[in-house]
Structure 1
Amino acid sequence: MRFFTPSIFSVALLSSSLSAAPVMLHNIQGYGFDEKGQIAEFNHFVFDNQTGKVLARGDKTAVAAYHNAEQIDGKGQTLLPGLIDGHGHVLGLGQNLNRVDLRSSGSEAQAVAQVAAFAKSHPHSQWILGGGWNQVLWPTQQFPGKALLDESISDKPVWLTRVDSHAGWANSKALQLAGITKATIDPPGGEIIRDTEGNPTGVLIDNAMLLLEQHIPQQSEAERLAALNAAFEHLLALGITSVHDAGVDQANLESYQKLRKDNQLPLRIYAMLSATDPNLAGWLNAGPIFDPNELFVARSVKIYGDGALGSRGAALIEPYSDQPGQKGLFVTQPDKLTAVMKLTLEAGFQTNVHAIGDLTNRLVLDRFEQLASKEQLEQGRHRIEHAQIVSPKDIPRFAQLHILPAMQPTHATSDKNMAADRLGIARLRGAYAWKSFVDQGSRIVAGSDFPVELANPFYGIHAAVTRQDQQNQPVGGWLPEQRLTLTQALKSFTLDAAYGAFQDQSMGSLAPGMWADFILVDRDIFKAPAETLWQTKVHQSWVAGQQKYQAQP
């Protein structure tokens, strides 16, 4: 590490900005990145609270031109670039904050008890909605069923999504309203889990979920805006100043545009438009949505490849080790996937494809190679979202084709208890392989996939550095050869995530001329024990030189 020394360019930039309204933070331990992507330290930080841009950083000498700036004593706190979540679901997060949360449930019976208590405290709800359950963490490790739900709630429909959002659990009332019976045929890319007599058990996988979810009443605009604002508040409290929102539909897009028009977006949204929305062709014809202040940008499309590992929906080259004959599901059938990728590439949009299983990752890499020119690949910064299980021989193709892996470190620490069961030992060599990607020069766009995982980015940084859960298990880390350094992990949540949105020249490093998106935290993460990284607390979050969050004393 070193203290930042302004280049000739940045000195000229500073000189031209002396008429701005500068604010100087001093008595801080600051960390950013230099022009080579290396950590740069500083103890003074100057920004313009009118333009929202960084003016200078470094030691006292480096900021001497701003001796008349408004002074703020940082009181020894650590200052970091605002953290970027490269793959989240903002509306889903906001909705979940007002639904029953089953993430902590230790059994099916415990989950049902939580649902029943929630229903009792929300007597006016038409539907009882929630999620977060994970049968892998229950003693039986078996999917739940409708029987216990029916005993507790029979007069209202209940719909509870699995933690990965690739499966859902319904009571009989919800199945009845959706018309799902023994005679219902599994849709392409989906599965209705059935008992030995062929009756639906209540669990629906991937595209089968749509059979039920289309019957859930749509949110009003007011409810949608309230959910978004709840999510914004939650994210800013965690130090997240920018989100790549993975899968925005027409209603959500309109809400974002309204918030931006009314200057009500407190953080940055980089929207991936949902490929399943009927308006896709119209969006592509209209072209990308840009914003000079980069608070709302929509220039990418999220395409859905396969399901998730926990529900055995991830599409694999060879069958699941714990369920012979099952190879997973294509949520979008290969021919349709090819057509949509071709459409988005030809429209000049960044193409971001959800791929978890090794078969889907290979298929998507093949399609990029077949459909895109060398120039499109070099300039497009196209992405594979998750890149979770990749055949080792396919990992180098990401670098060769200039495809960015958009990965979520906490997926590894959440999945470590079942990944070997699903995949066997051999396939783990290409699973959650962050260091293999970094070592070949790939820039990882890091995120959390909230609300699938908790949104706290320090949980992700901790997982990337230690390959351990918050109980420091397993000892030495799970697949520890794939650990990242703290610098690499922080870069993946800042500068490299910004690169994945074509925004690395304006955010992620805190260099002069960049947006003054920064956070103040309670510890120097580069000096704290690695096992405590997840405990980092955010004191303040700033976006474009404006304070957006202040922790309560």
Structure 2
Amino acid sequence: MLIHGGTIYTVDSTQTTAEAVAIKDNKIIFVGNLEEAELYKNENTQLIDLEGNTMTPGFIEGHGHFMGLGYNELNLDLLNTTSYQDVIDAVADRVSTLEPGEWIVGRGWHQSKWDSLPQNMVKGFQTHHRLSEVSPDNPVYLSHASGHAGFANAKAMEIAGLQAFAKEGIKTFHVDGGEVIVDKNDKPTGIFNERAQTLITKHIPEKNINTDVKAFELAVKACHKNGITSFHDAGIPRETIALYQKMKREGKMKTRIYAMLTGWDKTLLNEWFSKGIMVDTSHLFTIRSVKLNCDGALGSRGAWLLKPYSDRPDHYGHETLPMAFVKETALNGLKHGFQVCSHAIGDRANREILDRYELAIKELPNKADNHRFRIEHAQHLHPDDIPRFAKLKVIPAMQAIHMSSDRPWAIDRLGEKRIKEGAYMWQALLKSGVPIVNGTDVPVEPINPIASFYASVSRKTLKGTPEDGYEPEQKMTREQALKSYTLDAAYGAFEEHIKGSITVGKLADFTIFSQDLMSVDESAILKTEVVMTVFDGEVVYDNKN
């Protein structure tokens, strides 16, 4: 393959742009001017004229949930709902297509992003009554966009035995690391925060191999459409590992997956610690990291804070995993060569995890030369902890689109001082000497990398507000934003030697955009489209076909 005819950004410091790229099989064999590139051409060469479009290295989703992306395509997608009524209408439509007793499962609602709120709210959330009215015979469970809370109707709570529980006059639903929100009469409102979600989710019928395969195929298709050629899958169980191995054997692994083992399954972790990391020589499916879920999200007030929530002064969020286990896993990671990636959104969760990482590194310094431990999200930091990332060589994996979506209401949770000093601190972290891994946390947000790139460089909502961006001193430059989605994301997975830049010898993964993201006016960035995706030396998406 020979690609030419547009601006090619290499993300290679030795040659930042090129006229042409030549590929043999799935590797880059030449990067430079067109005249020299044509020396590689023969009768078997596939010619691709960019027609003035712009090419970059294949974009890497640095933190997402691959099967969540696929199942969001299969289930009720509520990401675009703007009111409680929208949610009710979506459920009512689905009820009309189902038999009584069939479950309705969905994800994507976020009360802080609604245009208007219902009258009856409890602790900042809607109650189930209106939802239950339109779905009396179908159990419903709708995950919050963050995944850190869920919303059940009366039928689902009846199946879980919770309505009967409430009638007995028992006032406390105690769940370690979670919360069942109840009304003034101590009856559940339908909102289940953090680990309390399992009270409902354990009753939802298990997925089967047919739906899993379909969801997988839909996720691959969505990646191609959005120019994503690699995906950091943030926490998978043994069933998903088996599915991915099956997909690879059948030639369906058309996105490179860098998987993190779920930290909820200690048996799974111990099995992998015993047998060691799995680095795929074909670079399709690698396992060399562990995901720990250590607190919740700001939207559900589950993020673990040093000081109480500004809009709920009696509440500090949730520690959803014992910190002793974080240290234990960090030690195991160092001993056995596994990267540890810990979810932390609140400032206390970030501090506690950095503390545990530091203890493990001090205990095993000879094993810590290249650990590349990560904190996933690193959304809200105490100012004292910002320089610790570079000092400890901990990588922040931060999804810029969260700032765009969350910042307008996050100030209600944290107050102005905490927002300005410690939230979404991209430039401060970059200047301290650490790379940032970008992404979307799909299906928390749509997988569209153009929206996250725009948020990175503008610090604005997708509606273009405010005029100068929120805390504009923390904006990324366009070069930093591009690198965060390519070479720095590859570094965050120990893969910078095989991808992340358009460099001779690296894998032939490319994203072609309709506009030059590096020079187009900021106001026009969101009008950019992915016009083609090249994966492993093959065109896997072309918006003309």
State TM-score, norm by structure 1: 0.92
CA deviation after TM superposition for structure 1 residue 67, in Å: 4.3
For residue 462 of structure 1, give the secondary structure of its aligned residue in structure 2.
helix
Equivalent position amino acid for 1:153 in 2? S
Q: Matched residues in 2 for 1:174 and 1:75: separation?
A: 54
Contact 1:160-1:168 at 8 Å conserved across structures: yes
CA deviation after TM superposition for structure 1 residue 494, in Å: 0.3
Q: Matched residues in 2 for 1:456 and 1:104: separation?
A: 14
Aligned to 1:207: 195
Aligned to 1:459: 451
Aligned to 1:388: 379
Q: Paired residue for 1:119, among 87, 95, 103?
A: 95
Q: Matched residues in 2 for 1:206 and 1:243: separation?
A: 25
Equivalent position amino acid for 1:423 in 2? L
The residue correspondences of 1:464-483 to structure 2 (distance < 5 A) are 464-483=456-475
Contact 1:83-1:493 at 8 Å conserved across structures: yes
1:496 aligns with 2:488: yes
1:282 aligns with 2:308: no
Q: Paired residue for 2:107, among 112, 131, 139?
A: 131
Equivalent position amino acid for 1:439 in 2? K
Equivalent position amino acid for 1:500 in 2? G
Aligned to 1:425: 416
Q: Which moved more, 1:346-355 or 1:381-390?
A: 346-355
Aligned to 1:178: 160
CA deviation after TM superposition for structure 1 residue 137, in Å: 2.5
Contact 2:233-2:258 at 8 Å conserved across structures: yes
Cα deviation digits, residues 90-131 of structure 1 (max 9, x gap): 101111111222222232223111111122134488210112
Aligned to 2:134: 152
Cα deviation digits, residues 307-345 of structure 1 (max 9, x gap): 001111000001111111210001112233333333333
- Taking a change above 3 Å as real, the CA distance of residues 375 and 28 of structure 1, as seen in their structure-2 partners, is farther
Cα deviation digits, residues 401-449 of structure 1 (max 9, x gap): 0000000000001111211111111111111111111111110011100
Aligned to 1:397: 388
Aligned residues: CA RMSD: 1.6
Q: Paired residue for 1:190, among 169, 172, 178?
A: 178
Aligned to 1:303: 292
Q: Matched residues in 2 for 1:430 and 1:374: separation?
A: 29
Equivalent position amino acid for 2:6 in 1? I
Cα deviation digits, residues 143-202 of structure 1 (max 9, x gap): 121101111001111000111110100011111212223336321110000001111110
Q: Which moved more, 1:285-294 or 1:296-305?
A: 285-294
For residue 501 of structure 1, give the secondary structure of its aligned residue in structure 2.
coil
In the alignment, structure 2 segments of 5+ residues that lack a partner are none
For residue 159 of structure 2, give the secondary structure of its aligned residue in structure 1.
helix
For residue 94 of structure 2, give the secondary structure of its aligned residue in structure 1.
helix
Contact 1:494-1:508 at 8 Å conserved across structures: yes
Q: Matched residues in 2 for 1:403 and 1:375: separation?
A: 17
Q: Matched residues in 2 for 1:106 and 1:60: separation?
A: 49
The residue correspondences of 1:340-419 to structure 2 (distance < 5 A) are 340-372=329-361, 373-419=364-410
Aligned to 2:74: 98
Contact 1:466-1:531 at 8 Å conserved across structures: no
Q: Paired residue for 1:161, among 143, 168, 178?
A: 143
CA deviation after TM superposition for structure 1 residue 346, in Å: 2.6
1:259 aligns with 2:247: yes
Aligned to 1:245: 233
Equivalent position amino acid for 1:137 in 2? K
Equivalent position amino acid for 2:273 in 1? L
For residue 33 of structure 1, give the secondary structure of its aligned residue in structure 2.
coil
Contact 1:388-1:432 at 8 Å conserved across structures: yes
The residue correspondences of 1:25-64 to structure 2 (distance < 5 A) are 25-35=3-13, 40-48=16-24, 50=25, 52-63=26-37
Q: Which moved more, 1:372-381 or 1:252-261?
A: 372-381
Equivalent position amino acid for 2:138 in 1? K
Q: Matched residues in 2 for 1:446 and 1:542: separation?
A: 20
- Taking a change above 3 Å as real, the CA distance of residues 378 and 541 of structure 1, as seen in their structure-2 partners, is same
Contact 1:519-1:540 at 8 Å conserved across structures: yes
Equivalent position amino acid for 2:8 in 1? G
For residue 74 of structure 2, give the secondary structure of its aligned residue in structure 1.
coil
For residue 208 of structure 1, give the secondary structure of its aligned residue in structure 2.
helix
CA deviation after TM superposition for structure 1 residue 467, in Å: 0.6
CA deviation after TM superposition for structure 1 residue 286, in Å: 1.7
In the alignment, structure 1 segments of 5+ residues that lack a partner are 1-22
Task: Give the percent of matched residue pairs that are identical in Structure 1 and Structure 2.
Answer: 38
Equivalent position amino acid for 1:406 in 2? A
Cα deviation digits, residues 221-257 of structure 1 (max 9, x gap): 1211110110110111000000000011111110001
